[in-house]
Structures are given as C-alpha cells and as structure tokens.
Amino acid sequence: MYSLSQKLADIIHHDHQLLPILNRFGIRLGFGDQSANDVCKSLDINAEFFIEILNTYHDPDYFPRERFLDFPLPLIVEYLKKTHLYYYTFYIPEIENQLNTLIASAPGANNLSLLTRFYLKFKQELHEHLEYEDKFTFPYVLNLHTLYLQGSAITNPELLPVRSIIEFEEEHSDVDSKLLDFKNIIIKYLQADYDDNKCNTLITTLFNFEDDLRDHSRIEDKIMVPKVLQIEKLLFPS
C-alpha cells in the first residue's frame, strides 16, 4: 500500500506497472524526488483519489469501496474516460501489432490466421462496448450529476431519455471471457513454428491488459453504477 507522503519515484521503482496510471492523471516522468502528494499538487490532481486508484491497481485485493463512493462522479468518469483512451491508443493497436509480428515470424502456419480472426472479433466487441459508454453512458452519468447538483427532484422525467443506468451499463463478462479464451488458446492449444520471444511478448501484453480491464470494470460496476443508482433514487422517486 502506497501513501501520498512517499516519493513517487520510489513507488514506480516498486511497481512499474503503475506507469500508465500516472499518465492517465497527466503525470509524466522526471518528477525528481517529489512526494506523490507534491506531484499531485503541482498538477492540480485530486491526490486522495489518485492514491486510491494507484493502490487498487497495485493490489487486486484492495478495493476501498466506501472510500471510492465519496469521490464525485465527474472525477470517476474522467478517469474511466482516460482509461478508454489508453485502450484505444495503446493496448488495442499494440496487441494487433504484436500479433502481426508473431504471425510474420511463422510464414506458412495458417492456423495463426485463425487468431487474427478471433482477435478482430474481440476487438470489435470491445470497441462497441467502449464507444457505447463514451457516447451514452458517461454523458448520461454526467447529466444526472448536474441535475443532482441543481438539487431538485425531476418533475418531468421525460427530460431524460433513459431513466436508469441499468439500461446503459451492460455486462462485462462477454469481453472478459473472450480475452481469457484468446490467452488460453495461445497458451494451451496453439502449435505453430513461431518465434517464442514474440509470442511471450504478446502474452505478457494480454495479461497486463486483462488486469487493467478488470480494474476498470470493477470501478464501473462497483462504484459508478451504485453511485448513479443512489442519485436516480433521489431524482426519480417512484
């Protein structure tokens, strides 16, 4: 467990997997000996939120639900959006590149092209999920939050096209299980004359992506959705 008084550099030395999380908060390397708290201050980042996110990412068993529920929705949504952006710009193209490199390392192994098919299918599903959240779920959540801040119960529910987050946030299990299958097919069932190192690189990336996605979905399912449900109850007394 990390604390705000620790040097950010020490934290990264201890767990470098946290680097992308720093970037999502707009932190770049070169922060010298500054504490996590000082770095956050200088960049106007909510330090408490930052450290909780860091700790949950570092330790999959740590998830301070109650504490997270205290943070305002826009802060949470902002982080989720940044995470999506990271998937679009890094993980998705990166996995594709590594897969293509792997396939190129074994010309003539046509069972590898099956993997590409499967990956494209997974990518399409993931894209649809992320895009839907960016286009509909997050704006709905932010709108609702604004209405909530204005403090009055909605007398005219038609103001909002949809009345529950339940209709927006679909299950994460489909995307999750495809990623798991993808890994398992490579690890257990794929036999081809490919370059081992290239395959290891791809698998490592897949494991990292899986961890990241799990953490992301957990924040959506266990923090964002319950918080929104609470507000909906207040705004739409049935």
Partner 1 sequence: MNTRILIIHQSAIVAEGLQRLLQNSSLQLHDHLRMFNDPADITIHSGSNYIFITTSALFQSLYKMQLINFSESGYRFIQCITDPATSRDNLCLEAIYLDDSQNQVIEKVRNTINSFHPDKNAVISSLTDRETEVLKLVSLGNASKEIADKLNISTHTVITHRKNITEKLGIKSISGLTVYAILNKIIDTDELSIDDLI
Positions in the binding site for partner 1 (CB under 8 A)? 61, 111, 113-115, 117-118, 121-122, 174, 177-178, 180-182, 184-185, 188-190
Least Å from the CB of residue 193 to Fe ion: 38
Distance of closest approach, residue 4 Cβ to Fe ion, in angstroms: 27
Q: Given the complex with partner 1, which of 86 and 118 has the nearer CB atom?
A: 118
Binding partner of residue 220 among partner 1, Fe ion, none, CB cut-off 5 to 8 Å per kind: Fe ion
Q: Which is nearer to Fe ion, 51 or 76 (CB)?
A: 76
Q: Which is nearer to partner 1, 150 or 189 (CB)?
A: 189
Residue 216 phi/psi, 5-degree rounding, is -65, -50
Taking the complex as a whole, how short is the minimal distance between the CB of residue 119 and partner 1, in angstroms?
Answer: 10
Binding partner of 212, given Fe ion, partner 1, none, CB within 5-8 angstroms per partner class: none
DSSP the chain: ---TTSBHHHHHHH-GGGHHHHHHTT--S--TT-BHHHHHHHHT--HHHHHHHHHHHH-TT---HHHHHTS-HHHHHHHHHHHHHHIIIIIHHHHHHHHHHHHHTSTT-TTHHHHHHHHHHHHHHHHHHHHHIIIIIHHHHHHHHHHHHHT---S-GGGSS---GGGT---SHHHHHHHHHHHHIIIII------HHHHHHHHHHHHHHHHHHHHHHHHIIIIIHHHHHHHHHHHS--
Amino acid making up residue 29:
L
To the nearest whole angstrom, how small is the minimum distance from the Cβ of residue 165 to partner 1?
23
Q: Which does 190 bind (CB under 5 to 8 A by kind): Fe ion, partner 1, none?
A: partner 1
Q: Which does 163 bind (CB under 5 to 8 A by kind): partner 1, Fe ion, none?
A: none
Nearer to Fe ion, 220 or 232 (CB): 220
Cβ 134 to Fe ion shortest distance, Å:
8
Structure tokens at 183: 């890994």
Task: Kindly list the residues in this chain that would bind Fe ion in the complex (CB under 5 A).
Answer: 133, 220
CA distance 234 to 101: 53
| 13 binding partner (options partner 1, Fe ion, none; Cβ < 5 to 8 Å by kind) | none
Q: Which partner, partner 1, Fe ion, none, binds residue 133 by CB below 5 to 8 Å per kind?
A: Fe ion
Residue keyed to tokens 């010309």: 107
Question: In whole angstroms, how close is the CB of 35 to partner 1 at the nearest point?
Answer: 28
Question: Which residue's CB is nearer to Fe ion, number 212 or number 220?
Answer: 220
Token reading at 20: 């992308």
